[in-house]
Structure 1
Amino acid sequence: MRRSIPVVAATLGLALTLTACSGSGDTGDDTSAAPTESAGATGTLTMWVDDTRINEMEPVVATFTESTGIDVELVQKASGDIGKDFVAQVPTGEGPDVIISAHDGLGEWVNNGVVAPLELGDKAGDFSESAIAGVTYDGKVYGTPISIENIALVRNNALLTDTPAATFDELVAQAKSAGTPFSVLVQQGPDSDPYHLYPLQTSFGAPVFEQSADGSYTDTLSMGGPAGDAFAAYLAKLGAEGVLDLAVDGEKAKQAFLDGQAPYMITGPWNTSAFEEAGMDIAVLPVPSAGGQPAQPFVGVQGAFVSAKSENPVLANELVVNFLSTEAAQDALYAEGGRMPANSASAAKVDNGILKGFGEAGATGAPMPAIPAMSSVWAFWGATEAQIISGQAEPVSTWNTMVANVQDAVDKV
C-alpha cells in the first residue's frame, strides 16, 4: 500500500499555499484559529506520533516543512503510552506541540487542560459527521480528523458467496451451511469483548451512553431497560449455540479465519492485510442487525491535536488546521499508510474494495465515547458479558446489576 511521496509533493505544496493564505471564515479572537502566511515562517514544532503511524507521517510532514520552512520534530511513542504521557508531560512543559492519536482520550485531555480547542470553520464540512463528532467534546472541536476505522463483517468468498443475510440469525444459519467448525467468528477471551459485540448491542437499541442533540455523549447509561434485557438474553442464546466462545480470543479468531474454519468474521482493517497476504478472496460487509435496529460499530477517529501549552500555537495551527485537513495531505497519508481518510473528498477516491467496505459499514457507526466516564465501563461490561455468554449467570438480572454498578461508578468519576 505504501507509495513514494514525491508524486503528491507538488499537489501538497499548492494546497498548503492556498490554505495558508485563506481564512476559515471565523472572525473570533481565538489566536489558535488565525490563519498564517506560511512563506518565510520559522520555528520548530514537536509532534508525537505512535509507533503504528510514524512511517506514514514522516514524508507528509517533510513536505510541510519544505513548503513552509517550519521544522517538525517527530517523536515516536508507544501506542499504549502516548495518551497518558500527553497528560503527564504537557503541564511540565515537556510535552509536544501536536499529538497524533485516537480520539478516545479526548475527554481526559480536556479535563486535565492539556489540549487546545480549534476552529476548523468551513473545513469542518470536509469531514463526515462521525469524524467531527469524534474530535468534539462538550460542544467544542479539539482536533483535525486524520483517518477513521471501525469493525465490519468480513466474508471468505471461497466458502460462501451468498447474498448477505438481512439479520444476524439468518447470517449464522447461512454460515453453518458452509460446514466449517465455526460460523461467525467474533473474538472474545475470558473477559468477553464488548467492542466487537457492540454492533449487535446497538441493534437492540441499547447504546452505552445517551447522546445529546449535538451528538455528544452524556454520563447517563443507555444500556438498561427492555432493550438491554433483550440484548442480554440474545447474548445467552449465542453462547448456548456456540456462536460466541470465550476460548476464542483475537489471535485464535484470526488464525481460524486464515485457516478457512469460518466463512465470516467480525473484525477490523488491522486484520484484513494478513488475509490478503495469505491470498484469501474476502469481502467486507456491514454487520447485519440482531435486534431490528441498525447495527452500529464504534468508529475510531485518529486526529491531530494541539497542546494547550504549545509555545508555538500559531505554527501548530498551520500544521493541524491548514495543512493536515486538506484533501491533498490526506491523499498522501492514505498513499503512505493505507488507512481510510477522514476527509470526505479524499475518502471518495479510495478504490480499495476492502477499505470501502469498512467505510460503508461505519457510515452509520457511533464514535467511541471520549468522555472520562468511559473508563468506568469496560471492566464491568466485559465481565458481565462473559458470565452471560458462558451460562454462569441469569442474563437479565446480571445485566441489570451491571448497569447499576457501572452507573454508580460513573457518577463517582
Structure 2
Amino acid sequence: MRRSIPALATTAVLALALAACSSSDSPSDATSDSPAADAAEGTLTMWVDDTRIDSMRPVVEAFSEESGVEVELVQKATGDIGPDFVTQVPTGEGPDIIVSAHDGLGEWVNNGVVAPIELGDKADAFADSAVQAMAYDGQTYGVPISIENIALVRNNALLADTPATTFDELVEQAKGAGTDFSVLIQQGEESDPYHLYPLQTSFGAPVFEQSADGSYTDTLALGGEAGHAYAAYLAKLGADRTLDLSVDGDKAKQAFLDGQAPYIVTGPWNTSAFQEAGMDISVLPVPSAGGQPAQPFVGVQGVFISAKSENPVLANEFVVNYLTTEEAQDALYEAGGRLPALTASADKVDDAVLQGFNEAGATGAPMPAIPAMSSVWSFWGATEAQIVGGQAADPAGAWDAMVQNIQDAIDG
C-alpha cells in the first residue's frame, strides 16, 4: 500500500520550500509557474554508505514519485560520512541529509552541523532505545531506521531449552553440555566492555547517567558499590575461566561454529555464519548477573538533516513525515534485512533470529553519543582486562582508580 502526501499539504510544503530556497535569480523566476511545480524540481542530497544505499534507493524513489522531489543518493565510505559532514556543512558544500550510526551525534551538535527535529507523537511508535539514541541535550536530532544489539545465542543441538533466570544458572547449565567452553564472551588483551555491558548494567552500574528523555549526561554512573560488585563478579568469572582474555572475537566465533560451547554472546553480524553452517540456533536475552535488567548497548542507524540544508522544509517532509511511516520502514527492511526501529514494522519481521535480537534489545541502552564517551574506552577495557586476568589484587580498588582516571580525562 502506498502512502500519498495529500495534494493540498504537498503544495503548501513545496511552496514553503520554494520560499526558503535562494537559488532563484529574480522574483519572476520564482512565480513563473505554480509553487508546487517549481519546488518539485528541487533536489535533496543524501549521503549513504555502501551497505545501505541499495536499501535506501527504492524508498527515495517512492518518495520522489509521490512528492515530485528528487533525492540524490551519494555513496560515501562509512568512516567518512561523519567527519566530512562536520567539515563540509559549514562551507555550504555538505549534503541535505545523511544516514549514519547515532554515535557521532554529540560531535555534530557541538559543531552546529545537524538540525533538531520534532517527532511529536511519532516518537511513541519507535523502540524507546531508538528514540533515546536520537536525543542529545534535551533535543531530538534524527529519525531512527534500524537497530542492532548483542544477545545470547544458543546452539540448540548442544543444549535443550532450559531457560535460566540468572547468568550463574546459565553458566551451570552450559557446563552440563560437556564442551570446552560454557558461555563464550569475546575478550582479547584489552577485554571487551561492549560485550560485557549487559552484565555490568545488571549490577546497576551504567557508564553514564541519563536524563528523563533518555539522552546521556557526562556524569559517570559506573562507580560506587554497584561498580565494586560488578568488579568482584568479573574477578570471579575470570578465576573460573568463564571469561578468558585469550579468546578474542574471531576465536569465540570459531569456537561456537566448532561446537565448543552451547552459548555465545554476540550480534547479528555473526549469526548469518552460524546459519550458513547449518546450525540450529536460538537468540535470547542475556540473563541478569546482578539482579537488575541486563541492558546491552543498542546501536541505532538514523537519518539526520543538515543545519545548513538549502531545502529544510523538503528535508523535513522526507525525513520526519515519510521515513517515520510503516511503508517506508517496511521497505527498508525488505531491501536491507536490518531490524526496523519502528515497532509496527519490527513486529512483522518473521525472521526468528532477528526477532530474538529485537526482544533482547527492547530494554537496551543506546550507545552514548556524547563526546565524553571517547574518554572511557581505553581505561574501561584495560581495567576489565586486569580484573579478568587476575592482575588486580583488589578489584574494587582497581575499579575506583579507573573511574577516577576517566573523570580526570573528561575534566581535562
TM-score by length of 1: 0.90
Aligned to 2:400: 400
Aligned to 1:183: 182
- Structure 2 distance, partners of 1:22, 1:330, is 25
Distance 1:148 1:20, change over 3 A: farther
Q: Which amino acid aligns with 2:369?
A: A
**Secondary structure of the structure 2 residue equivalent to 1:232:** helix
Query: What does 1:344-363 correspond to in 2, within 5 Å?
Result: 344-363=343-362
CA RMSD of aligned residues (A): 2.2
Q: Is the 8 A contact 1:159 1:178 kept in 2?
A: yes
Distance 1:68 1:15, change over 3 A: closer
- Structure 1 distance, partners of 2:337, 2:196, is 26
Segment of structure 1 superposing worse, 271-280 or 72-81 = 72-81
- Structure 2 distance, partners of 1:367, 1:151, is 12
Q: Which amino acid aligns with 2:384?
A: E
- TM-superposed deviation, 1:219: 1.0
Q: Gapped runs of 5+ residues in structure 2? A: 14-19, 22-34
Aligned to 1:409: 409
**Secondary structure of the structure 2 residue equivalent to 1:299:** strand
Distance 1:18 1:343, change over 3 A: farther
**Secondary structure of the structure 2 residue equivalent to 1:350:** coil
- TM-superposed deviation, 1:51: 2.4
- Structure 2 distance, partners of 1:141, 1:377, is 24
**Secondary structure of the structure 2 residue equivalent to 1:81:** helix
The Cα offsets for residues 234-283 of structure 1, whole Å up to 9 and x where unpaired, read as: 11111111111122111221121111111101111111111112211110
**Secondary structure of the structure 1 residue equivalent to 2:404:** helix
- Structure 2 distance, partners of 1:261, 1:118, is 48
Q: Is the 8 A contact 1:324 1:330 kept in 2?
A: yes
Aligned to 1:130: 129
Distance 1:15 1:351, change over 3 A: farther
- TM-superposed deviation, 1:140: 0.9
**Secondary structure of the structure 2 residue equivalent to 1:381:** helix
Query: What does 1:153-302 correspond to in 2, within 5 Å?
Result: 153-302=152-301
Q: Is the 8 A contact 2:189 2:246 kept in 1?
A: yes
Q: Is the 8 A contact 1:180 1:262 kept in 2?
A: yes
Q: Which runs of 4+ in 1 moved over 3 A?
A: 12-23, 36-40
Percent identity between the two aligned chains: 74
Q: Which amino acid aligns with 2:411?
A: D
Distance 1:58 1:16, change over 3 A: farther
Q: Is the 8 A contact 2:135 2:213 kept in 1?
A: no
Rg larger in 1 or in 2?
2
- TM-superposed deviation, 1:343: 1.0
Give the paired residue count.
Answer: 392
Q: Is the 8 A contact 1:39 1:69 kept in 2?
A: no
- TM-superposed deviation, 1:16: 8.4
Aligned to 1:306: 305
- TM-superposed deviation, 1:53: 1.5
Aligned to 2:327: 328
Q: Is the 8 A contact 2:135 2:214 kept in 1?
A: no
- Structure 2 distance, partners of 1:51, 1:267, is 23
- TM-superposed deviation, 1:396: 1.3
Q: Gapped runs of 5+ residues in structure 1? A: 1-10, 24-29
- TM-superposed deviation, 1:22: 10
Aligned to 1:14: 4
Query: What does 1:114-125 correspond to in 2, within 5 Å?
Result: 114-125=113-124
Q: Is the 8 A contact 1:96 1:310 kept in 2?
A: yes
- TM-superposed deviation, 1:39: 10
Q: Which amino acid aligns with 2:77?
A: A
TM-score by length of 2: 0.90
**Secondary structure of the structure 1 residue equivalent to 2:381:** helix
